[in-house]
Structure 1
Amino acid sequence: MPRADRASQFQPFAALKGFEEALKERERIEVEKIELSEEALDYLDYQLSLLKVGDMVSIIYYDYGAYVQKTGLISNIKKDAKYLTVVTTDISFDMIREIRT
């Protein structure tokens, strides 16, 4: 048996395509978005004003019914459109709960 064919016999087999993704979606616990106080919003605005492209950050943000943490380098900031990009993920300023630098 050729080497390329031998390797293919050990690849995982998914009899039900999309089943694992459906299970993960069912496990997801949906939460409501937390409304931040004026002081917290002012502090976030201050933090956002200090950020620049290339900074390493960890951002907690609201995404489709759950809070998600994204860590990485800021690759883009669009203050007029009110979003920033961490690696390849676009995050709206309105969805940010916390920024750690």
Structure 2
Amino acid sequence: MTEEAFLANMTLIQAQLGGIGSNRKLIQENQADGDPRSGYQGTVYSFMFSTTFPVAKVYEMIILIREGGNYKISGDQLFAKPKLKEWFS
């Protein structure tokens, strides 16, 4: 993902969710050797955060890869938090 694409995606996300995310809490972190879906060869790091936006609470997955000694954002995905009380009632 290029810097320009990342900034454009963040602008769209913030517009749709009412502003900047806050109260990020790290929920999970993983490391994998490559990505079979994309064919990427190398170490892939993923971080799952619980994030609060003005109009929604979401899980945010940020994926990093290492290229040339630098870490680069490979992806950023948002998933709506389920309302668990509805699942168990």
TM-score range, shorter chain: under 0.3
Q: Which protein shows a greater Rg?
A: 1
**Could you tell me the TM-score, scaled by structure 1's length?**
0.23
Structure holding more strand per residue: 2
Structure holding more helix per residue: 1
